Structure 1
């Protein structure tokens, strides 16, 4: 009789074969199905519980302008790109996000405020105070040294700050064959000060001999229903910006994950999404070239041909 491990290896092999054929969104849907059918169910940090698998990969060809914006549910791609632009500006306070109508980071500071003050304030009221009161925002809207801080102002032991993004752009231009074109956010010394340790930890880049920029992004942990669709859009937008700044063309985007999971309160939504047929991925392009990586705005991105199924609502696990 074949062992459970052998059967799991067969499932993993089948998953890889399916992911290589058909619609590229099939990779995402197959991962979701794989988690539902084979995931290890366990208690997690949030207390909600997850069904989890370890190790996942997907590949997307961006060379013709196609963007991996999931179609089996509506993804608010502008929100994802606004978040990425906030990271690039080194942002760590949700006030700037909220003023741009991005609410995806509010849950963590709101939970901290309720816990430390005992005030049962609702999210709308909390966000209004963050937007309108700079002092309140400075105290309660700060997330700590999260992505933006590490990407743009990594603090060395001598106190010197390192701008990983600026260095990456320089290397892409001056030494595109380098194997050291990467940045990451897992600063061990500052993890305890972060509202949430970085999930999409490492971005590495590779330039082909014909001038195409490839990206590999690794996530240590990914909420497949809610987080992953946003992560795919943000990483794609970043790859496009970097390629433009370095006079390159976008190539392949390779996504990898460690712990890929569905929260137990997302299982019904995942099953609903799996009943839907994927539609053609849209095209994304940049309509302007700023002087530097710091100059991009949401209006610089144009998406054509996005025709998704309806949105699927689910709660964020905090």
Structure 2
């Protein structure tokens, strides 16, 4: 696989002899060296660049799970399965011990009630109290709603994922095999507008499924490693359901940034040498795209450096 990487020293070609994770690390270095520093929505501030691309070959089972720090791939995959379920409430996530979406409803609860509840107590109430969860655990019409129940102006709901699977099976040469979550009419109701907003698919003449995923905005330290895993897991599921083989995963971003309170962590990560990417595979084939669970995924050979802690900007 060959791919172009835009680093601080200009443009270079990444070939088989270089680790594909270098694309991620080069982007991080580019942001540190040349990023535009400004105050963002969260008030934390970012250093960002506009326009980034990376390419990963999934055809031999390799998965782009970052190795220069530990990435909790099961958490990311559970999040993707939650998106596919059409869910928009954090209760289902918390019952799977996935806490990455709690910050937004917790901030809303504190602001609207004035109660300075800690995160653990808030999450316990969400898990144990369905009525409380319905009121305070809802994120609005985020990814799952748009992917599976897009509200049309005709009053109908559209399941973009089911339509995609049908197209992959019946019309694989189509250039319209995509789904997205940027529903302009409902953005104001979302706890967070979609970041990874468009997924487009392409089937080669020899039966390989390629994916291009575009993010309008990406937190490179915390968010991007999770996004790479989630998109890869989805590509494997779609390929299996359509009797295809995984091909290339192309990642693209608009605003790629490091938060100003992540700069030291990024510098630490850049001192580490990448290790071989692991393999990810599906151990079972469910009857439909809706039948997958976390136990259907197996990752082999993952030997990362230790985790790097950093705060989420809300």
The TM-score range, normalised by the shorter chain, is over 0.9
1:236 aligns with 2:232: yes
Correspondence for 2:201 among 201, 205, 212: 205
SS in 2 for 1:54: strand
Query: In 2, distance between residues paired with 1:234 and 1:246?
Result: 19
* 2:261 counterpart residue number: 265
Deviation at 1:16, TM superposition (A): 3.8
1:26 aligns with 2:53: no
- From the two aligned structures, give the one with the greater helix fraction: 1
Deviation at 1:159, TM superposition (A): 1.1
* 1:176 counterpart residue number: 172
CA contact 2:7–2:26 (8 Å) conserved in 1: no
* 1:149 counterpart residue number: 145
Matched positions, count: 309
* 2:162 counterpart residue number: 166
CA contact 2:53–2:253 (8 Å) conserved in 1: yes
For residues 119-165 of structure 1, give each alpha carbon's deviation from its aligned partner in whole angstroms, at most 9, with x where no partner exists.
00000000000000000000000000000000000000111000000
CA contact 2:151–2:157 (8 Å) conserved in 1: yes
Q: Which runs of 5+ in 2 are unaligned?
A: 1-5
For residues 141-197 of structure 1, give each alpha carbon's deviation from its aligned partner in whole angstroms, at most 9, with x where no partner exists.
000000000000000011100000000000000000000000000000000000000
SS in 2 for 1:17: strand
Correspondence for 2:290 among 290, 294, 304: 294
Against the structure 1 CA distance between its residues 270 and 141, is the aligned structure 2 distance closer, same or farther, given a 3 Å change threshold?
same
Query: In 1, distance between residues paired with 2:39 and 2:285?
Result: 46
Query: In 1, distance between residues paired with 2:187 and 2:173?
Result: 32
* 2:75 counterpart residue number: 79
**Which range moved further: 16-25 or 46-55?**
16-25
Correspondence for 1:97 among 83, 93, 98: 93
Deviation at 1:19, TM superposition (A): 4.6
SS in 1 for 2:122: helix
Q: Where do 1:50-129 residues align within 5 Å?
A: 50-129=46-125
CA contact 2:8–2:30 (8 Å) conserved in 1: no
Query: In 2, distance between residues paired with 1:181 and 1:12?
Result: 32
Q: CA RMSD in A?
A: 1.2
CA contact 1:15–1:34 (8 Å) conserved in 2: no
Correspondence for 2:45 among 45, 49, 52: 49
* 1:37 counterpart residue number: 33
Query: In 2, distance between residues paired with 1:15 and 1:103?
Result: 39
Against the structure 1 CA distance between its residues 19 and 35, is the aligned structure 2 distance closer, same or farther, given a 3 Å change threshold?
farther
Deviation at 1:12, TM superposition (A): 5.6
Query: In 1, distance between residues paired with 2:92 and 2:266?
Result: 32
* 2:12 counterpart residue number: 17
SS in 1 for 2:138: coil
Query: In 1, distance between residues paired with 2:132 and 2:14?
Result: 47
Against the structure 1 CA distance between its residues 141 and 54, is the aligned structure 2 distance closer, same or farther, given a 3 Å change threshold?
same
CA contact 1:15–1:30 (8 Å) conserved in 2: no
TM-score normalised according to structure 1 size = 0.96
CA contact 1:50–1:263 (8 Å) conserved in 2: yes
